[in-house]
Amino acid sequence: MSFVLLAIGLVLAVEGLVLALAPRRIEDALRLILTFSEERRRMIGLGALALGVVLVWLARGG
């Protein structure tokens, strides 16, 4: 359970930092994402999911 809390805390810290330092860039990125097709957004999401799983696996000792 502590691993899950650590992961959630890290995500919130990184996202909060990005929002605090570059809110305009986030707006630009969201506008860009809206121009992608639903299928492309789904593929980007699945790619991010796969990369996240691999990084967690490597961090846990592979």
User: Are the beta carbons of 19 and 26 closer than 8 angstroms?
Assistant: yes
Mean pLDDT of 28-56: 95
Q: Write down the pTM of the prediction.
A: 0.72
How many C-alpha atoms does 20 have within 13 Å on its Cβ side? 6
Residue 7 near residue 53, CB atoms below 8 Å: no
Asked whether residue 5 carries a pLDDT value surpassing 80, the answer given is yes
How many structural domains is the chain composed of?
1
| Runs of H (alpha helix) within the chain | 2-21, 23-35, 38-59
Tell me how far the alpha carbon of residue 22 is from its chain's centroid.
Answer: 16
Instruction: Tell me: pLDDT of 61 over 90.
Output: no
Given this model, what pLDDT does residue 11 score? 92
What pLDDT band is residue 2 in, cutting at 50, 70 and 90? confident
Torsion of CA 37, 42, 28, 52, to 10 degrees: -160
- Structural domain of 11: 2-59
